[in-house]
């Protein structure tokens, strides 16, 4: 039966059935038998290569076949008798009418495949090979680093095989590979340091590299030999475990474009995954003996075992280094008065520990960037994170910033990897670690400008073309944060949250002590100043001076009272004496006091005759006083302050309105926080602490009510809602 190679192009290469090519390389012959010893497939060159009677497709194996190769029948019988699922090859040396052969036989789901590799034209076994191979294994066992192991491996494999170039690839998270070690002829350009994209080794090829760990292409330009079936309806022959399997035309073209005539690959498999590869190139055809290839396979297994141990030690050392860094950073933070500055001073160590290229620390409006990220980009990134309302203690990480607003994407430029640690409990604080996109951080080693041939399947099938395609694939993406990064980051975040909480407790304790001191030590001198002002006025002294003294002492008294109220709120000591009282009568009383205190402001009250509620009358009077004072300070000159008290949905509602521009959104969101400063919008009340609305809201909340801000042109309105007195 005649077979032709199916056309393969760049659109279907990922789906190319390379494990069932229907062809073998011409330096050997292939036979496939079913469980009843019937020949189901045979390469077209079998009769001529072996020069003896061989079974035709459909024949049952008998003693009349393979005359001159007496041990072959026993080899096939041994393979047939091996346990189901055992795909390890059986091999022997055989010499007969066709010459000397290595015979490799292995089980398949259907039966047995037997391959003959001719010694004719193969490189001879290196002299003293047993001794030199044993010495090489011992050398590998003594190496203590990944780089040392791989350098030793490429040197030994090149010594055994005679290839012009032997490279060690190490694969990355995205299956792209770096040439990390190389032994190469002086006549060739070195490839050390170059990276090749994952697309150069399609997924199905990776699968085969795991299950068939040594692959030889003896002559790139040799014509493949078809394998003929007994019954074409049986489907293609699976050659996944074979040594003679023909080569993908795409891979052939790739090697031709590089000027390579023969190649061999030896897989480095760790934990069932393709960790790396020893790749060999020769500029002329080269056939390496089967015994040497199997020794290379054993070397790769020793290499993998040693690598696994070194990687485990490296992982342990990395965890220990991360713990040491975490301990030092947290200690610095705990002893620092300024957490943001303490973290920014550790920027270099943190970037090194997390393999990051930049760092941002933020707390409130403070943003410190290190590592080259523009300050404007850092500030906008922090604003975007704050808008996400992510709770403290929960990591956020990404390796591409596709979800960012367009304006921020432009600012971020090449900064694509983000590991965000939110640790602020009272105010939003961030530690951000950033990575640049891979194209920025990976160098194309060697000579990227070198011209390679480009075949009919396009420029992608050259090293340079492959790398250009890879750059397009990874544009806008950083190397992802691995499990160790995320685990270490979470541990650091937990420590930062605890440190921040400790700081908050210490600050709260200091604040309470300060407030208690202010209340105790300042009240007496303030009262003395106030009494002095009254005496001066009574005795006919300078009225303007006594008035200023009285005004200043009154303001100081209010500030002290606010501080004391806040101290009680933070310590949980603010109590309410809940009694029935008439809210409408209280409002009329407070308006009378406000008219006296602010003679230039017109107040308008709309209230029912009586409106009874249950609460602390003194505290509600404080609410009314604060709201009326706010309206007086912030209202437009000459405009009325409107006070409306009414009943709605089982609640008493107090509305205090004044004509004014709306409060900006960024200030409106912090109206009820302590120590904010919004008075800068006007020329009055510049000396407030920003506690009035905070205390007012806390008193209303203590009465199980709500306080809200709203704006309806031209009026700013604060609305307090309080429960009504329930009937007995």
Q: What pLDDT is recorded for position 133? A: 87
Burial class (CB in 10 A: 0-12, 13-18, 19+), 320: exposed
- Give the residue from 233, 229, 224, 221 showing the smallest Cα distance to 259: 221
- Torsion angle in degrees (nearest 10) through CA of 543, 547, 553, 554: 140
Residue carrying the six token digits 């040693």: 306
Q: Which pLDDT score, from 0 to 100, does residue 419 have?
A: 94
Q: How far apart are CA 672 and CA 687, in angstroms?
A: 18
Q: Burial level of 532, CB count in 10 A (0-12/13-18/19+)?
A: middle
Q: What is the pLDDT of residue 244?
A: 95
* Adjacency order of strands within the sheet including 651-659: 603-606, 641-648, 651-659, 715-723, 706-712
Beta bridge partners of 165: 184, 281
Predicted confidence at residue 448, as pLDDT, reads: 42
From edge to edge, which strands make up the β-sheet containing 273-282? 195-196, 177-184, 165-171, 273-282, 262-270, 214-217
Profile the chain (728 residues) by mean pLDDT over runs of 10 residues: 46 62 94 93 95 93 91 91 82 94 92 94 86 87 91 94 95 86 93 80 82 93 94 84 89 84 95 93 95 93 93 89 88 78 89 93 86 90 85 86 86 91 80 86 47 60 61 76 92 87 68 60 59 66 60 58 59 74 93 83 93 90 89 89 93 94 83 59 45 84 91 94 75
Q: Round to whole Å and give the CA distance between 194 and 179.
A: 6
pTM for the model? 0.64
In this predicted structure, what is the pLDDT of residue 554? Answer: 58
Q: DSSP alpha helices (H): ranges in 187-280?
A: 203-211, 249-257
């Amino acid at each position: 039966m005649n077979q032709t190679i199916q056309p393969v192009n760049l659109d279907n290469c990922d789906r190319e059935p390379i494990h069932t090519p229907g062809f073998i390389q011409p330096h050997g012959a292939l036979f496939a038998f079913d469980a009843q010893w019937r020949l189901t497939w045979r390469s077209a060159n079998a009769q001529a290569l072996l020069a003896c009677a061989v079974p035709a497709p459909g024949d049952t194996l008998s003693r009349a076949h393979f005359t001159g190769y007496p041990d072959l029948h026993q080899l096939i019988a041994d393979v047939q008798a091996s346990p189901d699922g055992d795909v390890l090859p059986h091999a022997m040396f055989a010499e007969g009418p066709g010459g000397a052969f290595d015979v490799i036989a292995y089980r398949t789901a259907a039966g047995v495949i037997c391959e003959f590799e001719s010694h004719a034209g193969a490189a001879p076994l290196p002299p003293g090979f047993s001794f030199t191979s044993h010495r090489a294994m011992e050398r590998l066992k003594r190496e203590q680093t990944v780089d040392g192991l791989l350098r030793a491996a490429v040197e030994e494999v090149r010594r055994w095989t005679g290839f012009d170039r032997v490279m060690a690839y190490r694969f990355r998270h995205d299956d792209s590979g770096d040439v990390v070690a190389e032994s190469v002829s002086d006549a060739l350009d070195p490839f050390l340091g170059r990276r090749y994209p994952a697309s150069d080794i399609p997924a199905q090829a990776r699968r085969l590299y795991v299950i068939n760990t040594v692959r030889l292409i003896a002559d790139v330009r040799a014509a493949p030999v078809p394998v003929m079936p007994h019954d074409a309806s049986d489907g293609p022959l699976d050659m996944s475990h074979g040594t003679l399997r023909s080569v993908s035309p795409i891979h052939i073209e790739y090697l031709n474009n590089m000027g390579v005539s023969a190649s061999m690959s030896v897989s480095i498999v760790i934990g069932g995954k393709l960790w790396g590869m020893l790749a060999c190139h020769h500029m002329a055809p080269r056939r390496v003996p089967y015994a040497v290839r199997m020794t290379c396979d054993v070397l790769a297994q020793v290499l993998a075992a040693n690598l696994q141990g070194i990687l485990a030690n490296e992982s342990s050392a990395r965890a220990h280094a991360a713990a040491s860094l975490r301990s030092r950073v947290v200690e610095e933070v705990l002893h620092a008065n300024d957490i943001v500055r303490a973290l920014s001073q550790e920027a270099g160590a943190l970037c090194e520990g997390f393999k990051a290229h930049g760092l941002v620390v933020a707390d409130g409006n403070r943003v410190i960037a290190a590592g080259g990220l523009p300050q404007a980009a850092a500030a906008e990134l922090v604003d975007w994170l704050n808008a996400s309302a992510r709770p403290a203690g929960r990591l956020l990480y990404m390796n591409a910033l596709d979800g960012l607003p367009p304006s921020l994407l432009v600012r971020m430029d090449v900064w694509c990897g983000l590991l965000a640690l939110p640790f602020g409990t009272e105010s939003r604080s961030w530690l951000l670690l950033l990575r640049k996109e891979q194209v920025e951080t990976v160098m194309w080693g060697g000579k990227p400008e070198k011209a390679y041939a480009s075949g009919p399947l396009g420029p992608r099938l050259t090293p340079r073309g492959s790398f250009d395609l890879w750059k397009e694939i990874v544009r806008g993406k950083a190397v992802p944060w691995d499990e160790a990064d995320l685990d270490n980051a979470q541990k650091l975040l937990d420590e930062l949250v605890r440190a921040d909480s400790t700081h908050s407790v210490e600050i709260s304790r200091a604040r309470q002590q300060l407030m208690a001191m202010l209340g105790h030590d300042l009240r007496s001198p303030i009262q003395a100043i106030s009494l002095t002002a009254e005496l001066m006025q009574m005795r006919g002294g300078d009225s303007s001076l006594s008035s200023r003294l009285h005004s200043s002492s009154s303001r100081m008294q209010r500030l002290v009272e606010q501080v004391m109220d806040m101290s009680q709120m933070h310590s949980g000591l603010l109590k309410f004496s809940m009694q029935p009282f008439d809210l409408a009568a209280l409002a009329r009383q407070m308006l009378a006091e406000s008219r006296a205190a602010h003679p230039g402001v017109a107040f308008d009250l709309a209230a029912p005759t009586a409106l009874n509620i249950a609460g602390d009358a003194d505290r509600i009077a404080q609410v009314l006083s604060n709201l009326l004072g706010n309206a007086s300070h912030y209202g437009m000159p000459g405009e009325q302050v409107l006070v409306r008290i009414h009943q709605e949905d089982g609640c008493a509602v107090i509305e205090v309105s004044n004509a004014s521009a709306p409060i900006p959104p960024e200030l409106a969101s912090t109206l009820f926080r302590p120590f904010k400063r919004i008075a800068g919008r006007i020329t009055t009340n510049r000396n407030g602490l920003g506690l009035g609305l905070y205390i007012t809201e806390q008193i209303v909340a203590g009465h199980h009510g709500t306080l809200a801000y709203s704006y309806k042109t031209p009026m700013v309105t604060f609305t307090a809602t309080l429960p009504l007195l329930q009937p007995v």
